[in-house]
Chain A
Amino acid sequence: MTSLVSARNVSKSFGSLKAVDNVSFEIEKGKILGLIGPNGAGKTTLLKAMLGLTDCEGELSVLGLDPFRDRKALMQNISFIADVAVLPRWIRVHQLLDFVEATHPNFSRERVEKLLSETKVRRAAKVRELSKGMVTQLHLAIIMAIDAKLLVLDEPTLGLDIIFRKEFYGNLLSDYFDEERTILITTHQVEEIERLLTDIMFIDDGRILLHSPMDALADSYTQLLTSKSHADAARGLGPISENEMFGKTVMLFEGVERSRLEAFGELHTPSVADLFVAKVKGARK
């Protein structure tokens, strides 16, 4: 397989806290993977380990490299945006572009200029003079102008309005993504990127709860909307979660065939958010 990222028994502890607890997974080329987890789940630590920003135990290989040891070589083929705004505030836009152009072999000045020409970002302005939205636009433009094999976006659209978010994800799909690239996204607004993803990974308490292609979810997971009278019978099939909504009972089943559930009520494919809540609650029990 063309594994871009390969993790085997990867752990990272801070004192007695296990931020990443013995995880193993593969990420293949050409995927858009959503990494989803509550705050403090270990997402950021896992990303950091993959980006070579922190060391870890176990075997971790990204693009065939040891990320911590070969960070420089890795960064030539990875671009990432961290969850906190990080562009230096004192720098001027044209200086920033000059700097990245001089230090990054896969950066296209032409492309960044084109992306920025669609925004109101002035080249002579200092970053501190730009609005929060413009700073993010600038950062995203730089990231998208890097011809990277792996793009890591940690909460990329935090603090941006809905119009820009839609536009950004649209651009990401139409202009950036192709089968040669892989994108890894974490976000709190799962609903917005749900349709974009080819794969999802749930993580909580440093462990992976689910790692699956999106189109396999419909086969494995079914949401049942049933009335109280049928609820007991449906419960017999072992739902992984259950709650009440508008007088109806909503149950989520894993690995139960649809034909066996049809009799009890309406069937749906669960949203990623619903599935996530069910999985996390289930794992914490």
Chain B
Amino acid sequence: MIGHQMTLIRRELWEHPAIYVAPLATAALVLLGLLTGQVTVSAFGEAVDFGIVIAQNSTELQRTAAITGVLLIVTTLFALGALIVMAFYSLDALYAERKDKSILFWRSLPITDAESVLSKLLTALFVIPLVTLLIAIATHLAILVMTSIWVMMQGGDASHLVWSSAPLADAWVSSLVLAVAMPMWLSPFIGWFLLVSALTKRAPLLMAFMPLFVVPLLEKMSTGTYFFYNAIFVRSFLPPIARFGDISWDSNELPTMPGGDSFSVLAQLDLAGFISSPSLWAGMIVCALFVTAAIYVRRYRDESY
């Protein structure tokens, strides 16, 4: 069973190279952007020297905050890319095999429909975020190395300015937590996309997204309530995992966080609150229902032969 899953997931990676090509392209863009920035900024010699002096005189906490900010922006970029890949992947996963009729070959092998659909769910839910995270981490390292080289070329002390202040463990562990938690939070969408991909005869993208807008609209018009609007839109943006609401933003200062003299993203994550949130579990049940329906459709539908 587990051996089968590994093989099935490997097949998904063969079929959908976008799973690693998209984050690699993001990495290339980020690093190219950084390099261009470094070359451009280097032209302003005095300003650069001044900047390095400021950096050297700033506190460790401020430098950590600054580097965390940069890493967070980069991570966010990768996360957005992963969300897009996840959506397109889940919409294609059970659609392409019917379109090219390869489903008949896959079903001639001793693999159940449940195993096949499960491998696609696992790929969307875990493989895509984790592959993206690995490439994001490599990009973080590349950014720090490139920045160090640049700082040294400008006569700064890279080990002090960059490495001693880089909160790598914190950034990576918190990214890992988010990379596991966010797909779980958004899993009802993945389940829905898989079901549409198993059902639709054409245009899976349209078929998946149209109801997301039409259903809340119809609800509002018929009953005047906002259940689907809240479930689809409001809920998505409010995962109960971050305590960022507690951060105080002073106008001219870097944000200070609860906890004062340490700067940790991980400390802002409320894992217990997240796991005990009924909304998380409700979402995962909805996902399970959609996926069960997708398995049922793949198993019972006849038109493909």
Contact = CB atoms under 8 A, between A and B. Distances in A.
Interface of A: 14, 44, 48, 51, 53-55, 71-76, 79-82, 84-92, 95, 99-100, 102-105, 139
B4 A103 contact: yes
Contact of A88 (B105, B107, B111, B302): B105
Contacts of B219: none
Given A54-B302, A95-B14, A103-B4, A76 B110 contact: yes
Contacts, number: 74
B109 A100 contact: yes
Given A54-B302, A103-B4, A103-B7, A88 B102 contact: yes
Contact of B14 (A55, A71, A90): A90
A90 B15 contact: yes
B97 interface: yes
Contacts of B300: 55
Chain B interface size, under 10 / 10 to 19 / 20 to 34 / 35 or more: 20 to 34
Contact of B7 (A79, A80, A99): A99
A86 B104 contact: yes
In order of increasing CB-CB distance, the 7 nearest A-B pairs are A88-B102, A75-B110, A102-B7, A86-B104, A86-B105, A76-B110, A82-B104
A104 B105 contact: no
Contacts of B108: 51, 75, 79-82
Nearest to B114: A72
A13 to B, nearest CB: 12
A3 B133 CA distance: 55
Contacts of B107: 53, 71, 75
A76 B110 CA distance: 5
B245 interface: no
B232 to A, nearest CB: 33
B101 interface: yes
A228 to B, nearest CB: 49
B100 interface: yes
Contacts of B15: 88, 90-91
24 contacts: A48-B302, A48-B305, A53-B302, A54-B302, A71-B107, A71-B112, A72-B112, A74-B110, A75-B109, A75-B111, A81-B108, A85-B101, A86-B103, A88-B102, A89-B100, A89-B102, A95-B14, A99-B11, A102-B4, A103-B4, A103-B8, A103-B109, A103-B111, A104-B110
